[in-house]
Amino acid sequence: MRRVAMVGAGMTKFKEHFDLGIKELVPMAVSEMAASVDKGLDRSDIEAAWFGELTTSDGFPAGILADSCGLLDIPVTRVENACATGNDAVRNAMYAVASGIVDVALVVGADKVRESSSRSTFWEWAALTRDVAWDYPLGLVAPANFALHAARYLHESGATREHMAMVAVKNHRHALTNPKAQLRFEITVEQVLRAPTVVEPFGLYDCTPQSDGAAAVLLVSEEVADRYTDRPVWVRGVGLGLDRVMHQHKQDMTSFPPTVKAARAAYAMAGIGPADIDVAEVHDCFSAVELISYEDLGFCDRFGAAALVESGATTFEGSRPVNLSGGLKAKGHPPGATGVSQNVELFEQLRGDAHNQLDTPTYALAHNIGGPTAVSAVTILSTEKD
Amino acid sequence: MSHLAALGTYLPTWGEEQDRRPGPDEDAVTLAVAAGRAALGCLDEPDVDQVVLVSRDLPLLEGGNAAALLAGLGLPADLPVTEQVGGCPATLDVLTAAAPGTLVLAADLAPAGAAAALVGSDGLEVLPCARRVGSLPVQSRGRDGVARDYEDARLGWDRGGLAAVSALDLAEKPVVVAGATARQAGVLTRGPAPALPVTGASAALFALAALDDLGETGVAVAVEQASATAVRTGRGTTSLCLARDEPAAQSPATLRETPGPEIAISLAAYARAFDAKLRWEAGACDACGTLALPPRLRCLECGSEEGWSLAPLPRTGSVYTAVTVHVPVPGLPTPYSLAIVELDGVDVRALVKVTGAPAGGTAIGDRGRLVLRRVALRSGIPDYGYALLPTDTDPTTEDI
């Protein structure tokens, strides 16, 4: 297996892009990625592309990427794996480069959640993830999907809504310096607790906003990496995990087994453990999901997340910051783009170019959990080639 | 003449004591099923050969309600079902003409309630007395579904109900009158008129239940506009088994309706799920017996793909986790609670909506029973399934 380097990364701002379609956002992200390549990118070098898009807001996804970016002569594969789409697109491209078939691979993620009317979004998106006869008519909205876990988690772990609120407060603060973030304002624990209830136990500030956006990274083989940069970031581990799709078949709802499986695979490939991770982008579509994910990723013991977030260890000043971008919570969450944008953030962190720049981090981890809490993807990046 | 072996009643919890409203997940089918299950639960081995539903609120005029009724009642799918449009006189007419083994159901939406009578070979005697069929349509509803009111209550009663009852030329005063207000009934009855919570088709059976409660036999009259039917009751050699599922009234929750596109339905998926979903049955693996809800090709436990058979599920359980949706959802009244319920005595959980209780009142560990409800209206089609009705009964209490 060849080693795989990330040599370019870029993204659009995440926001309600009513003025831009997917056909504009995708080429914008690709051009920003190209501009980030230290020694420049000749687009004709790109041999294949993987496009992560959860829904298609404007027609045939693979064709839109090829057409809108001027890449009509390469194969393009659309990846759809619920909210794990972005990191799964990275995983697929990584496999292609590692295998020796492709030297230069483009990964793009994009989605336009705000392209549908507010009234139609819920049922359109529910149809992607619910059993159509049994679960679909129940009105299992996305927050409820995760709240079923959160309610049980709070019941068993001793964590409280205050601990959930600390996650939201932290991620909002991190987003203040991120020019790409959708929600750039500070909030307090009291504001989170007092906000209107969306789905108990989630208030408005426990939830990600609805976002549009695109992100892109360039993966190349170790043989050609120095054509593009002298400071590559290495894709050291990738993993994908699944679980039963219906909530009633999930045995222990205080944990996300897909995350445990994806992380185990990624750590094994990277040859490291959770203690080695210096910085992470963790799926925080709802505040409690970040808490549960600390445990599933091995950042703390089972039911240790409340103490971890309370300690401040996952803030910018802490020992292992989580979601320095602002996370899904404050940066935004256009699902197909989300995982790719986590890689953009970590690429910049590992190269010393980030807005909340840490002091020489070595290992970084990106994580998604999604769909009916049944799929997770994890990517581990490093400044170290081996 | 008929004999009633069992009589069951059901009132939705919402509304006033004597003026109930259906919950957002109830219709004439779910109301009738609740009453029918009360009646059938009365007897050790109820013998049902056919079903008649009398109502002026049939959910579907085309598309059919019969299969949902039989599934909800746990009756075989080869029984004849008659869906009869009618009010309380029609219910008495059906009852007196019914053969033993007939389950007569009647359901109403305004006021809401339902009742069921199982005709047997013994039990309360019901003899036809007199009938008058007249026309004074002060309330009318046609194919367009629009209800119209002539708005002359005095005319309606004087030239309608009162005239119809006079035309019956009864030899003795009735004990109870269905289809009239308590004041109107009181003028006609020999003693104080028992108050009935409904006025439509099911009122006839509520009237017989009221007679039974009084420990009396006598004449019961059912009135609807200008028509009336009278029956006389008598004691059989066995007594009537009366079961009332009538929870205390609670104020209807303030629900928010959010307009939106119709909720899509796949009738292929509907048809595949129908039996398990409406009969509350799991797929039991033919190889190892493991239960799966919903039934599935590949066994959850042993991986066998050899086949499965439907097996009844317990109808009681406790809450593993629960949430309440407050955010507006197009097409669904909010707020509503969802719960994952661990069913008693089996390794099966189910994600269901909570019914019959204010949203947000259900917590982990709470107990309840699973009841048939209309989970959603999808593109005009009632999508029935089970919902959790919270109870404080202990797990050994037998479900009705």
Within a domain: residue B253?
no
Q: Is A116 exposed, middle or buried (0-12, 13-18, 19+ CB in 10 A)?
A: middle
Residues ≥6 apart with Cβ < 8 Å to A51: A26, A61, A62, A64, A65, A76, A77, A78, A79, A89, A108, A109, A110, A336
Helices (H), chain A: 22-36, 61-69, 85-99, 118-129, 142-157, 161-175, 189-194, 257-270, 287-296, 305-311, 327-331, 335-351
pLDDT at residue B323 is higher than 80: yes
A185 lies within 8 A of chain B by CB:
no
Within a domain: residue A363?
yes
Within a domain: residue B286?
no
Nearest to B340 among A133, A200, A248 (CB): A248
Nearest to A122 among B330, B348, B378 (CB): B330
The answer to whether residues B88 and B206 belong to one domain is yes
Per CB-CB distance under 8 Å, the chain A contacts of B273 are: 133-134
Closest-CA distance, B362 to chain A, in angstroms, reads 11
Q: Residue B360: what pLDDT?
A: 95
Inter-chain touch B336–A139, beta carbons under 8 Å: yes
Q: Residue A56: what pLDDT?
A: 87
CA–CA dist A15, A13 (Å, integer): 6
pLDDT digits (tens, 9 = 90+) for B133-152: 999 999 999 988 899 999 99
Per CB-CB distance under 8 Å, the chain B contacts of A152 are: 320-321, 364
Q: Is B217 exposed, middle or buried (0-12, 13-18, 19+ CB in 10 A)?
A: middle
The answer to whether residues B223 and B271 belong to one domain is no
CA–CA dist B110, B91 (Å, integer): 17
Tell me the residue range of the domain where A108 lies: 4-116+209-382
Query: In degrees rounded to 5, what are phi and psi of residue A206?
Result: -85, -5
Within a domain: residue A177?
no
Per CB-CB distance under 8 Å, the chain B contacts of A133 are: 266, 269-270, 272-273, 277, 294
Handedness of CA B113, B119, B122, B125 (dihedral sign): positive
Per CB-CB distance under 8 Å, the chain B contacts of A148 are: 321-323, 338, 340, 351
Considering the candidates A69, A83, A285, A300, report the single residue annotated as catalytic: A83
The answer to whether residues B221 and B331 belong to one domain is no
Using DSSP's 3-state secondary structure scheme, residue A248 falls into helix
Within a domain: residue B291?
no
CATH of the domain at B133: 3.40.47.10
**Omega cis (within 30) before B111:** yes
Per CB-CB distance under 8 Å, the chain B contacts of A155 are: 321, 364
Per-residue pLDDT for chain A (386 aa), expressed as one digit of tens each? 999 999 999 999 999 999 999 999 999 999 999 999 999 999 999 999 999 999 988 899 999 999 999 999 999 999 999 999 999 999 999 999 999 999 999 999 999 999 988 777 788 888 888 999 999 999 999 999 999 999 999 999 999 999 999 999 999 999 999 999 999 999 999 999 999 999 999 999 999 999 999 999 999 999 999 999 999 999 999 999 999 999 999 999 999 999 999 999 999 999 999 999 999 999 999 999 999 999 999 999 999 999 999 999 999 999 999 999 999 999 999 999 999 999 999 999 999 999 999 999 999 999 999 999 999 999 999 999 99
CA–CA dist B38, B8 (Å, integer): 5
Tokens representing B200 are 């439509």
A191, HSE (Cβ side, Cα atoms, 13 Å): 9
Within a domain: residue B53?
yes
CA–CA dist A22, A310 (Å, integer): 40
State the ipTM, two decimals.
Answer: 0.95
The answer to whether residues B25 and B135 belong to one domain is yes
Q: How many Cβ atoms sit within 10 Å of the Cβ of residue B348?
A: 20
One-letter amino acid at B3 equals H
Mind giving me the DSSP string for A76-135?
A: EEEE-BTBTHHHHHHHHHHHHHHHTS-SEEEEEEEEEGGGS-HHHHHHHHHHHHS-TTTT
Q: How many domains does chain B have?
A: 2
Greatest pairwise CA separation for chain A in angstroms: 56
Tokens representing B349 are 């959980």
pLDDT at residue B397 is higher than 80: no
Mutate to test the interface with B, among A116, A117, A122 (most CBs of B within 10 A): A122
Q: At what angle do helices A61-69 and A22-36 cross, to 10 degrees?
A: 60
The answer to whether residues B161 and B271 belong to one domain is no
Q: How many domains does chain A have?
A: 1
A101 lies within 8 A of chain B by CB:
no
Residue B175: pLDDT band by 50, 70, 90 thresholds?
very high
pLDDT digits (tens, 9 = 90+) for B33-58: 999 999 999 999 999 999 999 999 99
Nearest to A248 among B277, B327, B349 (CB): B349
In the block, residue with structure tokens 């080869």 = B78
- The 8-class DSSP code of residue B92 comes to H
Residue B396: pLDDT band by 50, 70, 90 thresholds?
very low
Within a domain: residue B209?
yes
pTM of the model: 0.95
A155 lies within 8 A of chain B by CB:
yes
The answer to whether residues B112 and B210 belong to one domain is yes
The answer to whether residues B366 and B324 belong to one domain is yes
Task: Please state the rounded mean pLDDT for residues B256-284.
Answer: 95
A32 lies within 8 A of chain B by CB:
no
pLDDT digits (tens, 9 = 90+) for B47-97: 999 999 999 999 999 998 999 999 999 999 999 999 999 999 999 999 999
Q: Are A4 and A220 in contact (CB under 8 A)?
A: yes
Within a domain: residue B310?
no
Strands (E), B302-380: 308-312, 316-325, 336-343, 349-354, 367-378
Q: Residue B190: what pLDDT?
A: 94
Within a domain: residue B380?
yes
Within a domain: residue B165?
yes
Query: In degrees rounded to 5, what are phi and psi of residue A248?
Result: -70, -10
The DSSP bridge pattern shows strands B176-178 and B219-224 to be parallel
> Bridge partners of A51?
A78, A108
pLDDT digits (tens, 9 = 90+) for A359-375: 999 999 999 999 999 99
CA–CA dist A248, B164 (Å, integer): 56
Using DSSP's 3-state secondary structure scheme, residue A239 falls into strand
Q: Are B338 and B355 in contact (CB under 8 A)?
A: no
Tell me the residue range of the domain where B103 lies: 2-245
Considering only residues B169 and B392, tell me which one the structure prediction assigns the higher pLDDT. Answer: B169
Q: Is A355 marked active-site?
A: no
Q: Are B120 and B4 in contact (CB under 8 A)?
A: yes
Closest-CA distance, A376 to chain B, in angstroms, reads 21
The answer to whether residues B73 and B161 belong to one domain is yes
Q: At what angle do helices B203-214 and B88-97 cross, to 10 degrees?
A: 70
Q: Percent of chain A beyond pLDDT 70?
A: 100
The answer to whether residues B80 and B210 belong to one domain is yes
Q: Is A83 marked active-site?
A: yes
A49, HSE (Cβ side, Cα atoms, 13 Å): 31
Taking only residues 219 to 248 of chain A, the set having a beta carbon closer than 8 angstroms to any beta carbon of chain B reads 246-248
pLDDT at residue B394 is higher than 60: no
The answer to whether residues B111 and B11 belong to one domain is yes
Residue B347's nearest CA partner among B282, B265, B272 is: B282
Within a domain: residue A72?
yes
A40 lies within 8 A of chain B by CB:
no
Q: Residue B395: what pLDDT?
A: 42
CA–CA dist B325, A122 (Å, integer): 13
CATH of the domain at B330: 2.40.50
Residue A333's nearest CA partner among A154, A191, A123, A143 is: A143
Greatest pairwise CA separation for chain B in angstroms: 72
A137 lies within 8 A of chain B by CB:
yes
Inter-chain touch B351–A248, beta carbons under 8 Å: yes
Tokens representing B141 are 């509803």
One-letter amino acid at A287 equals S
- The 8-class DSSP code of residue B87 comes to -
Considering the candidates A17, A149, A333, A367, report the single residue annotated as catalytic: A333
Closest-CA distance, B327 to chain A, in angstroms, reads 5
Within a domain: residue A203?
no
CA–CA dist A323, B291 (Å, integer): 42
The answer to whether residues B339 and B203 belong to one domain is no
Q: Are A215 and A12 in contact (CB under 8 A)?
A: yes
Q: Are A366 and A293 in contact (CB under 8 A)?
A: no
A196 lies within 8 A of chain B by CB:
yes
Task: Please state the rounded mean pLDDT for residues B13-39.
Answer: 97
Per CB-CB distance under 8 Å, the chain A contacts of B269 are: 132-133
Residue A375's nearest CA partner among A5, A200, A128, A138 is: A128
Q: Residue A159: what pLDDT?
A: 98
Within a domain: residue A345?
yes
Closest-CA distance, B381 to chain A, in angstroms, reads 12
> Bridge partners of B112?
B109
CATH of the domain at A53: 3.40.47.10
Within a domain: residue A143?
no
In the block, residue with structure tokens 């789409």 = A85
